[in-house]
Amino acid sequence: MTHTHTHAPRRALLAAAFALALASGGAGAASAAEAAPAPPSPYAQSPYAQSPYAQSPYAQSPYVLRLDGAGECTFPMKKQIADRPWALQRLLLDELWAQTKGKDKNGAGVRVAVIDTGVDRANPQLSAALDTGAGKDFVDPKGGDGTTDTIGHGTKVAGLIAARPQEGTGFVGLAPDATIIPIRQNDGQGKGNALSLAQAIDHAVAKGAQVINISQDTDAQLSADSELGKAVQKAVAANIVVVASAGNDGTSGEKRKTYPAAFPGVLAVGASDRNNERAVFSQPGDFIGVAAPGVDMVSTVPGFGQCIDNGTSFSAPYVAGVAALLRAKHADWSAQQIVWQIQNTAERAVNGRDDYVGWGVVDPVRALSHDQQAPKAPVPDPGPPPATAPEAAALRLTETAQEREERFGTYALGIGAVLIAVIAGTATVVRDSRNRRRRLQ
């Protein structure tokens, strides 16, 4: 699938940036993950620019899908990250899991297909989560069950959805009882393309996926009639919640569509930071459905342990985990209703949606607790009521009874005052007249 803006100067910059990351910070990032839970985010440049894919010779090929993660982790890790990650600290997990952790009323785990670089089966937090019988490898010519992950990207994605609790770490997936269908379709070296992604989606549908997570993208303008477009529509028509990352080329702020996220029926997920604002690298556009944490994200790596990474690759599975919980709790809801519920309960920064975080930042607890009614399509908030217009004073051509009484009272007071003055004046005249008469006598 093509990457339409892979011009030579930009490729050179990306390769140089990745070389610098290897020279100055690649190993450091891993050791920091072992020693401390929150190393600084690589905001100076796009996570894609730091990924192994950026230096791949396949990056110039048409119709190549790029992974939406920074790819800075090494594995296996010697130590686990003990602390609860920030993206989980903000959740009341007991309330989130009050009714389900990803199993339906029959005790079956919701089936989530992770179409990625494979999902490692050796990490103990994931070994019990995988349905390897349903997995498939589209990269290795010899085939396989999708549990080979030489990059670690798919293992991190799967961990955010369904990693089981483990002693020694505060990290756990949002739906720790869900079942992962591991599908290896991209090797991080550019071999993942539109055709193989379409085939992987068809495989997920055939294996009974209820949620599909796709943490890769291209900005090639693909039509609904393309092979990938048709595969996505088949999945949507099969009542599957399809979640896809928006991409990491948003540093410039330029709005453009990426695929498969922009296909109709797909829940496109951007990345948010700790302040619930768009992460600087997250791709904006009119196709964004919601945003979810994508900065300093802790998740599982092949072999053992966890590491910290950045990208919309890790925002999408956060949402896919919420979708899995909703599918387990509300088996009667359609895939469209699941998407509406996630959008309706997201934390909004504006009254409606925008091109940066969509309908808002996903709120898993609210999605699972404000669910008494079947959801409807999201609409903008009504906002504060408009101010009441001032009313003009009534124009009266006649006086009121009160005004008449006040007028009569004024007259009475005036007349009384005049009478008093007259009487007083008359009395004074009479007195003076009598006094003069007495003096004359």
Residue 406 included in any domain: yes
Task: Select which of 56, 120, 131, 153 is catalytic.
Answer: 153
Residues 137 and 254 in one domain: yes
pLDDT exceeds 60 at position 195: yes
The residues facing 136 across adjacent strands are 183
Task: Select which of 217, 313, 315, 363 is catalytic.
Answer: 313
Residue 322 included in any domain: yes
Residues 315 and 426 in one domain: no
Q: What's the CA gap between 409 and 388, in Å, rounded?
A: 38
Residues 319 and 406 in one domain: no
Residues 133 and 38 in one domain: yes
Evaluate whether 270 touches 355 at the Cβ level (below 8 Å): no
Give the phi and the psi of residue 70 in degrees, each rounded to 5: -75, -30
Q: Does residue 313 have an active-site annotation?
A: yes
pLDDT exceeds 50 at position 428: yes
The residue out of 350, 369, 388 marking a domain boundary is: 369
Domain range for 302:
8-369
Residue 402 included in any domain: yes
Q: What's the CA gap between 394 and 403, in Å, rounded?
A: 15
In which residue are the tokens 């799967």 written? 158
Residues 101 and 247 in one domain: yes
Residues 133 and 213 in one domain: yes
pLDDT computed for residue 54 by the predictor = 39
Mean pLDDT of 74-86: 93
pLDDT computed for residue 389 by the predictor = 78
pLDDT exceeds 60 at position 53: no
Q: What is the DSSP letter of 52?
A: G
pLDDT exceeds 50 at position 93: yes
Nearest Cα neighbor of 119 from 302, 274, 358 is 302
| Average pLDDT value for the chain | 84
Residue 202 included in any domain: yes
Q: How many angstroms separate the Cα of 93 from the Cα of each of 7, 158, 315, 369, 394?
A: 45, 19, 18, 12, 61
The H-or-E segment that residue 440 falls in is helix 401-440
Residue 360 included in any domain: yes
Q: What is the CATH number of the domain that holds 137?
A: 3.40.50.200
Residues 311 and 252 in one domain: yes
Per-residue model confidence as pLDDT tens digits over 123-142: 999 999 999 999 999 999 99
The structure's pTM equals 0.76
Residues 364 and 417 in one domain: no
Residues 253 and 331 in one domain: yes
Per-residue model confidence as pLDDT tens digits over 374-407: 999 999 988 777 777 787 776 666 767 787 788 7
The residue out of 369, 388, 412 marking a domain boundary is: 369
Task: Select which of 116, 145, 187, 296 is catalytic.
Answer: 116
Residue 349 included in any domain: yes
Give Cα 26 distance to the centre of its chain. 28
Evaluate whether 327 touches 241 at the Cβ level (below 8 Å): yes
Residue 2 included in any domain: no
Residues 363 and 407 in one domain: no
Q: Does residue 153 have an active-site annotation?
A: yes
Q: Which of 96-100, 289-293, 348-352, 407-411 has the lowest mean pLDDT?
A: 407-411
In the chain, what are the helix, strand and coil shares in percent, each to the nearest 5?
35, 15, 50
188 backbone φψ class: left, alpha, beta (φ>0; ψ -120 to 50)? left
Q: How many angstroms separate the Cα of 297 from the Cα of each of 96, 208, 308, 361, 427?
A: 19, 29, 5, 15, 105
The upper half-sphere exposure of residue 127, i.e. CA atoms within 13 Å in the direction of its Cβ, equals 7
- Strand-strand pairing, 136-137 and 306-309: unpaired
Residue 86 included in any domain: yes
The residues facing 111 across adjacent strands are 179
Residues 89 and 220 in one domain: yes
Per-residue model confidence as pLDDT tens digits over 201-220: 999 999 999 999 999 998 88
Residues 157 and 225 in one domain: yes
Per-residue model confidence as pLDDT tens digits over 227-250: 999 999 999 999 999 999 999 999
Question: 48: pLDDT confidence band, cut at 50, 70 and 90?
Answer: very low
The count of domains in the chain is 2
The residue out of 326, 353, 369 marking a domain boundary is: 369
